Chains A and B, each alone.
Chain A
Amino acid sequence: MKVEKILELIEKLHWDTPQKVQEQAMKELTHMDDKYIYLLIFPNIGSDCWANAALVLKKIAYPRIKLVIPYLLEWIDDMNCPGALTIFELLLTVETKVLIPHIELLVSMSPNYYIEDNYGLERFIGKKNLKRDDFIQKDLYDKMKRLFSVV
């Protein structure tokens, strides 16, 4: 599928598009070349199509979304953001061993206030049942837990 076609289909993810056209676009987009999957992360045309873009990403599924995990973790930082719940569910399907480096990097590279307010991450750690033992850098787990408890 050519990238022009992909961009055209992404425009059809807008929630004002007729339902059948939305569904057809979503179905076709799951077959896109993996190198264009990133275009579904917060599509540039506006938040009106994010909920559907997230649904496509969930259908594309892990491991095809492996290279965009850092961006998906940013998507869930605000659970009110369109599509965040869908992305949350998608991330739950990723193996713990694959997730841990990304979570550790998110905690180590972000300012404290970002982690303190990251309710999506806090909820994800609980739902995925990630424990201190799963972390390679235990001090980052402790830091994260301490920051969650600030709020």
Chain B
Amino acid sequence: MIGKKTKELIEKLHRDTPKSEQEEAIKELIKIDDDYIYLLVMPKGDANYWENAALVLRQIEYQRILHLVPYLVKWMNDFSQPGAQHILDLLSTIDVEIMIPHIEYALLFFDPQFSKEKMDGLKLLVKNKKIKKEDFIQKDLYDKI
């Protein structure tokens, strides 16, 4: 069962919480039990928490968040969402070989002409990591961006 303290700390990530309490919560949450890291992905469906939650995730070793990469790609992909820049920074630290499957999946059903998504975050990630067509397994997907 999730501890009361973890829930309270996540509550304190709200942007209206006094600054010192936000900072203390961020520091504490880096040590969150691995089973509950997912609670930091766009928490509570409330954007007021996302900037700080992304800051926590960015400071957690990436091996601990590998199972969450598909959700982090979605978060980052709409670059107007709070925390997207931190998530981009986090994903930029992950090996290209690990990221390729997720980048390719994000592009699988993407149609550059008709899809609503803009793939802004994904394009930045590909640029930041200097990912080339040769890095892709499914080369035709690279051509979409």
Chain A interface (Cβ within 8 Å of chain B)?
3, 7, 35-36, 38-39, 41-42, 44, 66-71, 97, 101, 104-105, 108-109, 136-137
Query: Across the two chains, which residue of chain B brings its CB closest to A69?
Result: B67
Complex: chain B residue closest to A133, CB-CB: B1
Cα A68 to Cα B36 in complex, Å, equals 19
* Cβ–Cβ contact A38 & B71, under 8 A: no
Partner of A71, one of B2, B41, B105: B105
* B101 close to chain A: CB less than 8 A: yes
Q: How far is the CA of A71 from the CA of B105 in the complex (A)?
A: 8
- A71 CB, nearest partner CB in chain B, Å: 6
B140/A71 in contact, CB under 8 A: no
Q: Which of A44, A71, A136 contacts B138 (CB 8 A)?
A: A44
Contact-residue size bin, chain B (C-beta under 8 Å from the other chain): 20 to 34
Tell me whether A66 and B38 are in contact (CB under 8 A). no
User: How long is the Cα–Cα vector from A66 to B70 in the complex, in angstroms?
Assistant: 12
Q: A3-B137, A105-B41, A109-B74 are in contact. Are A35 and B101 (CB under 8 A)?
A: yes
CB neighbors of A among B42-99 (8 A): 42, 44-45, 66-68, 70-71, 74-75, 97
Contact in complex: B71, A109 (CB < 8 Å):
yes
Contacts of B70 in A (CB 8 A): 70-71
Instruction: Write the chain A residue with the least CB distance to B101.
Output: A38
* B contact residues vs A (CB 8 Å cutoff): 2, 35-36, 38-39, 41-42, 44-45, 66-68, 70-71, 74-75, 97, 101-102, 104-105, 108-109, 137-138, 140-141
Q: Are A104 and B74 in contact (CB under 8 A)?
A: no
Q: Are A105 and B71 in contact (CB under 8 A)?
A: yes
**Contact partner, A39, options B74, B137, B140, Cβ 8 Å:** B137
Chain A residues with Cβ under 8 A from B102's Cβ?
38
Residue of A nearest to B38 (CB): A101
Cβ–Cβ < 8 Å partners of B97 in chain A: 35
22 A-B interface contacts by CB (under 8 A): A7-B137, A36-B137, A38-B105, A39-B137, A44-B108, A44-B140, A66-B67, A67-B66, A68-B101, A70-B70, A70-B71, A97-B35, A101-B35, A101-B38, A105-B38, A105-B41, A105-B68, A105-B71, A108-B44, A109-B71, A136-B2, A137-B39
Q: Which residues from B are CB-within-8-Å of A109?
A: 41-42, 45, 71, 74-75
How far in angstroms is the closest Cβ of chain B from A18?
25
In chain A, what residue has the closest Cβ to B137? A3
Kindly state the separation between the CA atoms of A44 and B110 in the bound complex, as whole angstroms. 12
